[in-house]
Chains A and B, each alone.
Chain A
Amino acid sequence: MTIGTPLRSKLDTKSDDYLQNLGEMQAMWDEVESLMETVPTIGGQRYVDRHRKRGKMLVRERIEALIDPDTPFLELSALAAWGTQDPIGVGVVQGIGVIEGVECAITGTDMSVKGGAANPTTWKKSQRFHEIARVNRLPLINLNESAGADLPRQADLFIQGGASFKALTRLSKAGIPTITAAFGPNTAGGAYTPGMSDYTIFVKDAATAYLGGPPLVKMAIDEIVDEESLGGADMHSRTSGLSDYLAQDEMDALRIIRQIVRHLQWKKLGPGPTEPADAPLYDPMELLGCASADVRTPFDIREVYARLLDGSRFEEFKALIGEQLVCGWASIHGFPVGVLGNNGILFSEEAKKGAQFIQLCNKMSVPIVFLHNITGFMVGSKAEQGGIIRNGAKMINAVSNSEVPHFNLMVGASYGAGNYGMAGKAYDPRFIFTWPNHRIAVMGPKQLAGVMDIIARNSAAGRGVEVDEEALQAQTAALEAQIEGESTALYSTGRLWDDGIIHPGDSRTVLGIALSAAHSNVVQGATEYGVWRH
């Protein structure tokens, strides 16, 4: 027996509308992809070459050599810091990869980006990654080398920077192994990355760790000492004991990591996939053209389901009521899931239906996938009188207290409290992945600018002054443009509101990897919620 029955797609993938939309989506993806292509050498070719000249592997080469052959690697937040003063990706690679058959949270610093020095976004990105390792119970692998903090920016990172060392030891406390291989310098605070890890590996003649380098030591205590005696791999392996394993070279360090992971005898705690994992009846690559490039154009979320779910099968729950929220059961790569997806606005019935569905998923300990395509909760007197706040609260209560893993797939807009009801970023989903057409904000830019326009007019009227029509229109247009710019998928990913923009056609693979990672931990639903406002 399988869950659900196959959905029938009504999408005509030969129609002009589809092809037009596909073209626009492709252009959006191309922009994302071309940005991603810059990331591996974002530190500058000169620094990449310098790194290689030292006989070192690039961080992504290390990861390629570390993980099991032919297994996938899901890089997370590759475009972090897009649109900020920091380099895209912030000189750190993070992702989920398989080592000796164990899904691990693998992170490494890119020495070719500002010498691996951490900036404020680096800390934010690592913090998120430590959280991913913790909630999903993934062994953490650090491929470390860093010049330390980006000193001129210390004010923005010194205080919160300490949290990453706390995170390491708390992972360890939670029984999640932390393994750090040091490939280069680990200076000052950076020295606590190996210092706080369960296992450390130092690469001979390359790795160093000290709180203060030779110049500082000279300044502080007038001791003249060379780097190797102060904090070399050999010293730490034979004398200080900071290094547990002395690696002969970089490849040897990677080998030792694999050896350590192997001896962990790691067992996943989730039940794992239980359903047939057959491909959808419709090509997942068509997902690129499924969702509207312009989030204002409605589309049927079931078209996404038909290309995302195993065998396109879906058992719809409450199909005849609250139709703008399409809930039901299905499986992705054999992992049973509850699916909630929007066909627009959340009304009271949608909110009540969603709250019930989320409780049912928790009763069965089934993870939930939220497909955001939501313009918000309904407004207006009819909605208010119908109890939209009270009913919306039910959904927010449900997602806030739900304990099964949540996964967000941003397939369209995610505006206003709709984002909250759909378990958005603030509700700690295990993973959030974004399609390039995604828009996220408190409301649509036009609406927001329009609201501000009305407020300005009301304010002027209250003060009895004449509205400077031209200035107000310019102000409104500028605001709309600003909000438009701040609502994009790139803006969102740059701010780490998600875990990465993905090609829609990869959604099944990405969700599969995310679900499998979540099943490394216990998958257990909630039994208690906040007081329900009936």
Chain B
Amino acid sequence: MAVPTNSVVASGSGSLSTTITRLLIANRGEITARIARTAHRLGISTVGVYSEPDADALHVDAVDIAVALGGSTPAESYLRAEAIIEIALAHGCQAIHPGYGFLAENADVAEQVSAAGLIWVGPTAEQIRTLGDKVAAKKLAIESGVPTAPLFEVSSAADGSVDVPEGIPMPALVKAAAGGGGRGMRVVRTSDELAEAVTAGSREAQSSFGDGTVFVEPFIERARHVEVQIIGDSHGNVVHLGERECSIQRRNQKIVEESPSAGITPETRAAICDGAVALARSVGYEGAGTVEFLVDEAGRPESINFLEVNTRLQVEHPVTEAVTGVDLVELQLRVAAGEALPISQSDVQVDGHAIEVRVVAEDPAAGWLPSTGTITAFELGVDGDLVRIDTGFRADAEVSSDYDSMLAKVIAHGATRVEAAAKLRRALRGSEISGVTTNLAALVEILGESDYLAAHTPTAYLDEHPDVVASVGPTGDDRVGLLLAAVFATERASRAADRVTGFAPSGWRNLRTQGQRQVWSASGSETPDAVEYTVCGAAAEVLLGPWPEPLDDGTLPPDERRRRIVRLLSVTEGGGRTPSRIAIEIDGVRRVVEVHGDEDAVRTRSVAGALTWALAPRFVDHDAEAAGGGPICPLPGTVIAVHVAEGDEVEVGAVLMVVEAMKMEHKITAATDSTVTEIHFDVGSRVDQGDLLVSLEALADD
């Protein structure tokens, strides 16, 4: 699946092919690559820009030439409008496409661009200003006949006191007029909480956006977020391209988007689409934009509340492209060049259903904490053309906190919503990104979850489905397949590395008492996996789960581990970046797993999902611990006891802490006589292999 490429014939006064021959894309990441793709298809050459850390990023490869902006933070680089305009002029560009974020929706920049004699690919500065003010936009919406709940303005006096209007229905939402992303937002359940919420919201809005204006509107419990894609030209034409639903959000930021919405009635659909067009017409809107609404979970027309207008191309525009077959960037460029819209409303047909997910470098299980680092593997999708992938990342790229955490968008189009979800899920299961934590596993869970499939997707969806968020990837036999592929790829490598007895069968014994025992941990998983295997000829017998450990009386409990018979049917060795491809048979079921191992981690990937595994070291190096300032956690587990307090002097071997892992209690002891300087975990804390548990300072030898 790709960006629609059915170019439409130009009409109207301007002509793209003569007006814009070189386009500057003032952005980075996936959107730069995506804009460049359409520009190139239309014969337009592209100029990109880059910050210092992005010097070899994928988006820089996607444009014809790119010009250094220097710096690394957005302020030092992509937000430098004047520098960007100079670059556009110096390199003979006729137009600047701001993408989304950075300079997009900045009326002043739009003005500067026009003043420099360049085309701003987007609405006019005036349109941006009018529609960018939420209060003004809402008033305009009401005037234009857009269906919406009423708006209650709040005025604050000079002394900081606020005047809250009477008769606001509860519950209500206090919102900042400026900004977005949920900051300054407060839900109020009863009228007497309102004044306080307004004061607090105003304070937060002031500090976040430099504008303390807030307003109040009815709060919709379990709302859905729906939005209408519009596009207008300079000839007064406006069409809508149907709606998208983007209800599944974390921290008020969209994570799963689709088109059309499966949760609104036809009346609602007609009302918001017509309303959006009416609003756009009222300002003579030029370019692509999105009119956002909230509706209740049933999607009833009487619940519609206008939110705001985004005067730019949205991140989630590909779902619209998928169902309408329209290339939105092409339309943006055509109307920016002065062409009339090549399509009329009656040309817009919605075909099937499309879903987009945002793959982000965040840890859903840790409150969507952003994850940074170097990407070590970046493989998205399976089966070729199953999905559309828009990304600005690849292996070796750095994910830094300077920029957005979004790594890629993956879009699937199907005849039905469920089909689109299934295709997308299949593609995501077969994807692998390592080096940073991502939400891939959570996305896979969402796309298979019954409420999601039934379109029961209010904005509170993620809060109401914590299991989905906690997902760490494949489970059951799928997980076992990945684990054993890691185990036996490692076993193969270890046999190949045996320079003295490499000829002998793996783990050969003439008097056998046990197999090869190992403990593996999957990234993100709390429970380590114990594996014991014995290779016998072409097959191996594998026991999964903790091996029996002596009880207090020295006897061993019965071994209740399940026995599995494993064969490696074929192995295609990889090398460098290329993973090895292993066909592994477990109890007669064959799976193909791609395995890529290095010293610290073995990455595995199959159509069932991807996991990165680490083999627990067999030994704890107490000397290194003594040198490193304290004991290192040997296995992922939970602290079940802390025996010392900060400031305690402990003797060598003293038990500092007890960590439960693998249903066993591991005593964490002092490697030398020392003073406890810091205890890093409390009872009940989850600890990972390699965590420094207790900081110790060695006592001087007397």
25 contacts between A and B (CB under 8 A): A40-B513, A49-B554, A50-B554, A52-B554, A53-B552, A60-B511, A60-B514, A64-B514, A68-B494, A69-B516, A70-B516, A71-B498, A72-B501, A204-B652, A248-B671, A251-B618, A334-B503, A506-B510, A509-B503, A509-B504, A509-B505, A509-B508, A512-B501, A512-B504, A513-B504
Least distance between B516 CB and chain A CB atoms (Å) = 6
Are the CB atoms of A510 and B510 closer together than 8 Å? yes
Least distance between A77 CB and chain B CB atoms (Å) = 11
Of the candidates B503, B509, B535, B622, the one whose C-beta lies within 8 Å of that of A512 is B503
- A299 in the interface, Cβ–Cβ < 8 Å? no
Are the CB atoms of A251 and B514 closer together than 8 Å? no
Q: Which residues of B have CB within 8 Å of A98?
A: 498, 500-501
- B347 in the interface, Cβ–Cβ < 8 Å? no
By beta carbon, the residue of chain B nearest A279 is: B503
Least distance between B531 CB and chain A CB atoms (Å) = 12
Q: Using a Cβ cutoff of 8 Å, how many contacts connect chains A and B?
A: 117
Contact with A along B476-511 (1 / 0, CB 8 A): 000000000000000100110011110111111111
Contact with A along B611-647 (1 / 0, CB 8 A): 0000000111110000000000000000000000000
Within 8 A of A (CB), among B506-549: 506-511, 513-514, 516-518, 535
By beta carbon, the residue of chain A nearest B667 is: A249
Q: Which residues of A have CB within 8 Å of B555?
A: 49, 52
Of the candidates A254, A277, A500, the one whose C-beta lies within 8 Å of that of B510 is A500
Are the CB atoms of A70 and B506 closer together than 8 Å? yes
Q: Which residues of A have CB within 8 Å of B383?
A: none
Of the candidates A53, A70, A254, the one whose C-beta lies within 8 Å of that of B550 is A53
Contact with B along A101-128 (1 / 0, CB 8 A): 1110000000000000000000000000
Are the CB atoms of A252 and B653 closer together than 8 Å? no
By beta carbon, the residue of chain A nearest B554 is: A53
- A78 in the interface, Cβ–Cβ < 8 Å? yes
Q: Which residues of B have CB within 8 Å of A252?
A: 619-620, 622
Q: Which residues of B have CB within 8 Å of A78?
A: 510-511
Are the CB atoms of A74 and B513 closer together than 8 Å? no
**Top-6 shortest CB links A-B:** A53-B554, A49-B554, A72-B508, A255-B619, A72-B504, A52-B554
- A470 in the interface, Cβ–Cβ < 8 Å? no
- A333 in the interface, Cβ–Cβ < 8 Å? yes
Q: Which residues of A have CB within 8 Å of B508?
A: 72-73, 506, 509
- Report the bound CA distance from A203 to B615 in whole Å: 26
By beta carbon, the residue of chain A nearest B701 is: A238
The size bracket of the interface on A is 35 or more
- B553 in the interface, Cβ–Cβ < 8 Å? yes
A contact set with B: CB distance below 8 Å: 36, 39-40, 48-54, 58, 60-61, 64-65, 68-75, 78, 98, 101-103, 204-205, 248, 251-252, 254-255, 258, 268, 273, 277, 333-334, 500, 502-503, 506, 509-510, 512-513, 516
Q: Which residues of A have CB within 8 Å of B556?
A: 52
Of the candidates B495, B510, B653, the one whose C-beta lies within 8 Å of that of A75 is B510
Least distance between A92 CB and chain B CB atoms (Å) = 13
Knowing A64-B517, A516-B500 are in contact, say whether A71-B507 is a contact too (CB < 8 A): yes
- B669 in the interface, Cβ–Cβ < 8 Å? yes
Q: Other than A70-B494, A102-B500, A500-B510, give 9 A-B pairs with Cβ distance below 8 A.
A: A48-B554, A70-B491, A70-B506, A72-B501, A75-B509, A101-B498, A103-B501, A251-B619, A251-B620
By beta carbon, the residue of chain B nearest A519 is: B500
**Which of B495, B507, B550, B553 has its CB near the most chain A CB atoms (within 10 A)?**
B550
- Report the bound CA distance from A503 to B508 in whole Å: 13
Of the candidates B498, B513, B517, B518, the one whose C-beta lies within 8 Å of that of A68 is B498
Least distance between A434 CB and chain B CB atoms (Å) = 12
Least distance between B43 CB and chain A CB atoms (Å) = 59
Are the CB atoms of A72 and B618 closer together than 8 Å? no
Contact with A along B343-359 (1 / 0, CB 8 A): 00000000000000000
Q: Which residues of A have CB within 8 Å of B507?
A: 69-72
Q: Which residues of A have CB within 8 Å of B495?
A: 70
Q: Which residues of B have CB within 8 Å of A503?
A: 510
Q: Which residues of B have CB within 8 Å of A273?
A: 503
By beta carbon, the residue of chain A nearest B505 is: A509
Q: Which residues of B have CB within 8 Å of A101?
A: 498-500
Knowing A70-B495, A70-B516 are in contact, say whether A53-B553 is a contact too (CB < 8 A): yes
Knowing A103-B500, A251-B619, A506-B510 are in contact, say whether A72-B554 is a contact too (CB < 8 A): no
By beta carbon, the residue of chain B nearest A204 is: B653
Q: Which residues of B have CB within 8 Å of A72?
A: 501, 504-505, 507-509
- Report the bound CA distance from A333 to B503 in whole Å: 7
- Report the bound CA distance from A510 to B622 in whole Å: 37
Q: Which residues of A have CB within 8 Å of B550?
A: 49, 52-53
- Report the bound CA distance from A204 to B652 in whole Å: 10
Least distance between B231 CB and chain A CB atoms (Å) = 62
- Report the bound CA distance from A52 to B535 in whole Å: 27
Q: Which residues of A have CB within 8 Å of B503?
A: 273, 277, 333-334, 509, 512, 516
- Report the bound CA distance from A103 to B510 in whole Å: 17
Q: Which residues of A have CB within 8 Å of B491?
A: 69-70
Q: Which residues of A have CB within 8 Å of B653?
A: 204-205, 248
Q: Which residues of A have CB within 8 Å of B516?
A: 69-70
Q: Which residues of B have CB within 8 Å of A333?
A: 503
Are the CB atoms of A64 and B498 closer together than 8 Å? no
Q: Which residues of A have CB within 8 Å of B552?
A: 53
Are the CB atoms of B513 and A61 closer together than 8 Å? yes
By beta carbon, the residue of chain B nearest A54 is: B554
Are the CB atoms of B553 and A49 closer together than 8 Å? yes
By beta carbon, the residue of chain B nearest A503 is: B510
Q: Which residues of A have CB within 8 Å of B514?
A: 60-61, 64
Least distance between A254 CB and chain B CB atoms (Å) = 7
Q: Which residues of B have CB within 8 Å of A49?
A: 550, 553-555
Within 8 A of A (CB), among B33-53: none
Q: Which residues of A have CB within 8 Å of B510?
A: 36, 74-75, 78, 500, 502-503, 506, 510
- Report the bound CA distance from A514 to B10 in whole Å: 83
Least distance between B499 CB and chain A CB atoms (Å) = 6
Q: Which residues of B have CB within 8 Å of A61?
A: 513-514
Q: Which residues of B have CB within 8 Å of A68?
A: 494, 498
By beta carbon, the residue of chain B nearest A520 is: B500
Within 8 A of A (CB), among B661-685: 669, 671
Q: Which residues of B have CB within 8 Å of A258?
A: 619
Least distance between B63 CB and chain A CB atoms (Å) = 49
- Report the bound CA distance from A248 to B625 in whole Å: 12
Q: Which residues of B have CB within 8 Å of A74?
A: 510
- Report the bound CA distance from A75 to B509 in whole Å: 8
By beta carbon, the residue of chain A nearest B622 is: A248
**Which of A69, A102, A251 has its CB near the most chain B CB atoms (within 10 A)?**
A69
- Report the bound CA distance from A75 to B494 in whole Å: 21
By beta carbon, the residue of chain B nearest A40 is: B513
Are the CB atoms of A40 and B500 closer together than 8 Å? no
Least distance between A464 CB and chain B CB atoms (Å) = 58
- Report the bound CA distance from A514 to B620 in whole Å: 33
Least distance between B625 CB and chain A CB atoms (Å) = 9
Q: Which residues of B have CB within 8 Å of A254?
A: 619
- Report the bound CA distance from A386 to B516 in whole Å: 58
Of the candidates A51, A53, A64, A248, the one whose C-beta lies within 8 Å of that of B669 is A248
Are the CB atoms of A36 and B554 closer together than 8 Å? no
**Which of B499, B513, B535, B555 has its CB near the most chain A CB atoms (within 10 A)?**
B513
Q: Which residues of A have CB within 8 Å of B535?
A: 70
Are the CB atoms of A70 and B498 closer together than 8 Å? yes
Q: Which residues of A have CB within 8 Å of B518?
A: 69
Are the CB atoms of B513 and A65 closer together than 8 Å? no
Least distance between B623 CB and chain A CB atoms (Å) = 9
Least distance between A72 CB and chain B CB atoms (Å) = 4
- Report the bound CA distance from A74 to B556 in whole Å: 26
Are the CB atoms of A60 and B513 closer together than 8 Å? yes
Q: Which residues of A have CB within 8 Å of B621?
A: 255
